[in-house]
Amino acid sequence: MHVNFAKPILYGIFASVILLGIYFAVLTLVSGWTFTLSQFLGFWYFIVNLSAGFGIQVGLYSYLRNLIKEDHGKMLGVTGTTSTVAMISCCAHYLANLLPILGTAGLVAIVAQFQVELFWVGLLFNFGGILFMIQRIYQFKKI
Protein backbone atom coordinates (compact mmCIF):
# COMPACT_ATOMS: atom_id res chain seq x y z
CA MET A 1 0.00 0.00 0.00
CA HIS A 2 1.65 3.22 -1.18
CA VAL A 3 0.49 6.60 0.02
CA ASN A 4 1.93 9.88 -1.21
CA PHE A 5 3.49 11.83 1.68
CA ALA A 6 3.74 15.15 -0.17
CA LYS A 7 0.06 16.10 0.11
CA PRO A 8 -0.28 15.39 3.86
CA ILE A 9 2.90 17.40 4.54
CA LEU A 10 1.65 20.31 2.43
CA TYR A 11 -1.77 20.16 4.12
CA GLY A 12 -0.08 20.26 7.52
CA ILE A 13 2.08 23.25 6.61
CA PHE A 14 -0.91 25.02 5.09
CA ALA A 15 -3.01 24.36 8.23
CA SER A 16 -0.26 25.74 10.48
CA VAL A 17 0.09 28.89 8.40
CA ILE A 18 -3.69 29.39 8.25
CA LEU A 19 -3.96 28.98 12.03
CA LEU A 20 -1.23 31.57 12.59
CA GLY A 21 -3.01 33.87 10.15
CA ILE A 22 -6.26 33.47 12.06
CA TYR A 23 -4.43 34.14 15.33
CA PHE A 24 -2.96 37.39 14.00
CA ALA A 25 -6.18 38.49 12.28
CA VAL A 26 -8.53 37.87 15.21
CA LEU A 27 -6.26 39.27 17.88
CA THR A 28 -5.45 42.34 15.76
CA LEU A 29 -9.14 43.00 15.13
CA VAL A 30 -9.97 42.64 18.83
CA SER A 31 -6.98 44.33 20.46
CA GLY A 32 -4.90 46.05 17.78
CA TRP A 33 -1.59 45.25 16.11
CA THR A 34 0.65 46.48 18.95
CA PHE A 35 -1.02 44.17 21.48
CA THR A 36 -0.98 41.26 19.01
CA LEU A 37 2.72 41.69 18.35
CA SER A 38 3.55 41.98 22.05
CA GLN A 39 1.52 38.83 22.82
CA PHE A 40 3.20 36.93 20.01
CA LEU A 41 6.68 38.04 21.04
CA GLY A 42 5.95 37.15 24.66
CA PHE A 43 4.43 33.75 23.92
CA TRP A 44 5.81 32.83 20.49
CA TYR A 45 7.13 29.47 21.73
CA PHE A 46 3.62 28.42 22.76
CA ILE A 47 1.88 29.87 19.71
CA VAL A 48 4.31 28.40 17.17
CA ASN A 49 4.26 24.98 18.87
CA LEU A 50 0.47 24.95 19.05
CA SER A 51 0.27 25.89 15.39
CA ALA A 52 2.85 23.26 14.43
CA GLY A 53 1.04 20.63 16.49
CA PHE A 54 -2.20 21.48 14.73
CA GLY A 55 -0.45 21.22 11.36
CA ILE A 56 0.99 17.83 12.30
CA GLN A 57 -2.47 16.61 13.27
CA VAL A 58 -3.91 17.84 9.96
CA GLY A 59 -1.08 16.14 8.05
CA LEU A 60 -1.54 12.88 9.95
CA TYR A 61 -5.30 13.07 9.44
CA SER A 62 -4.77 13.57 5.72
CA TYR A 63 -2.33 10.67 5.61
CA LEU A 64 -4.75 8.41 7.48
CA ARG A 65 -7.64 9.48 5.27
CA ASN A 66 -5.58 8.51 2.25
CA LEU A 67 -4.88 5.12 3.80
CA ILE A 68 -8.52 4.41 4.48
CA LYS A 69 -10.55 3.57 1.43
CA GLU A 70 -13.80 2.77 3.20
CA ASP A 71 -15.80 4.87 5.63
CA HIS A 72 -14.45 4.90 9.17
CA GLY A 73 -16.34 8.03 10.19
CA LYS A 74 -16.37 7.27 13.91
CA MET A 75 -12.59 7.01 14.18
CA LEU A 76 -12.04 10.13 12.12
CA GLY A 77 -14.76 11.96 14.06
CA VAL A 78 -13.03 11.24 17.37
CA THR A 79 -9.76 12.51 15.94
CA GLY A 80 -11.42 15.69 14.73
CA THR A 81 -12.94 16.18 18.16
CA THR A 82 -9.54 15.76 19.80
CA SER A 83 -8.07 18.38 17.51
CA THR A 84 -10.98 20.74 18.05
CA VAL A 85 -10.69 20.47 21.83
CA ALA A 86 -6.98 21.21 21.54
CA MET A 87 -7.59 24.34 19.53
CA ILE A 88 -10.38 25.54 21.83
CA SER A 89 -8.21 25.10 24.90
CA CYS A 90 -5.33 26.79 23.11
CA CYS A 91 -7.34 29.83 22.14
CA ALA A 92 -9.59 30.09 25.20
CA HIS A 93 -7.43 32.80 26.77
CA TYR A 94 -8.41 35.16 23.95
CA LEU A 95 -11.90 35.19 25.42
CA ALA A 96 -10.39 37.57 27.96
CA ASN A 97 -10.43 40.23 25.25
CA LEU A 98 -14.08 39.65 24.31
CA LEU A 99 -15.76 38.87 27.62
CA PRO A 100 -15.81 42.46 28.98
CA ILE A 101 -18.11 43.30 26.10
CA LEU A 102 -20.41 40.54 27.33
CA GLY A 103 -20.28 41.83 30.91
CA THR A 104 -18.38 38.96 32.54
CA ALA A 105 -15.39 40.80 33.96
CA GLY A 106 -14.78 38.27 36.76
CA LEU A 107 -14.36 35.43 34.28
CA VAL A 108 -12.02 37.62 32.24
CA ALA A 109 -9.71 38.07 35.20
CA ILE A 110 -9.60 34.32 35.84
CA VAL A 111 -8.91 33.46 32.19
CA ALA A 112 -6.21 36.14 31.91
CA GLN A 113 -4.61 34.94 35.14
CA PHE A 114 -4.26 31.39 33.79
CA GLN A 115 -3.13 32.24 30.26
CA VAL A 116 0.11 30.23 30.47
CA GLU A 117 -1.68 27.26 32.02
CA LEU A 118 -4.18 27.34 29.16
CA PHE A 119 -1.28 27.28 26.70
CA TRP A 120 0.06 24.16 28.46
CA VAL A 121 -3.39 22.53 28.30
CA GLY A 122 -3.50 23.28 24.58
CA LEU A 123 -0.06 21.76 24.06
CA LEU A 124 -1.08 18.69 26.06
CA PHE A 125 -4.20 18.21 23.95
CA ASN A 126 -2.16 18.75 20.78
CA PHE A 127 0.35 16.12 21.87
CA GLY A 128 -2.48 13.74 22.76
CA GLY A 129 -4.09 14.28 19.37
CA ILE A 130 -0.81 13.58 17.59
CA LEU A 131 -0.26 10.37 19.59
CA PHE A 132 -3.84 9.31 18.88
CA MET A 133 -3.38 9.82 15.14
CA ILE A 134 -0.07 7.94 15.11
CA GLN A 135 -1.69 5.07 17.02
CA ARG A 136 -4.57 4.92 14.51
CA ILE A 137 -2.16 4.93 11.57
CA TYR A 138 -0.11 2.16 13.17
CA GLN A 139 -3.24 0.10 13.88
CA PHE A 140 -4.54 0.57 10.35
CA LYS A 141 -1.21 -0.45 8.79
CA LYS A 142 -1.01 -3.46 11.07
CA ILE A 143 -4.31 -4.87 9.76
pLDDT tens figures, 14-28: 999 998 998 898 888
Confidence label for 74 from pLDDT (cuts 50, 70 and 90): very low
pLDDT at 77 over 70: no
Domain membership of residue 119 (yes or no) is: yes
Residue 49 domain boundaries: 6-142
Residues 6+ apart with CB under 8 A from 141: 1, 67
* Helices 33-67, 73-91: inter-axial angle, 10-degree rounding: 170
* Nearest in space to 121 (alpha carbons), one of 98, 90, 92, 143: 90
Is 103 among the domain residues? yes
pLDDT for position 113: 73
49 in a domain, yes or no?
A: yes
Q: How far is CA 16 from CA 10, 107, 111, 113, in A?
A: 10, 29, 25, 27
CA pair distance 15, 3, nearest whole angstrom: 20
Structural domain total, the chain: 1
Q: 91-140 pLDDT, tens per residue?
A: 555 555 555 544 555 555 666 677 778 778 888 888 888 888 888 888 87
Q: Is residue 132 included in any domain, yes or no?
A: yes
- Global pTM reads 0.68
pLDDT at 117: 80
**Is residue 1 situated within a structural domain?**
no
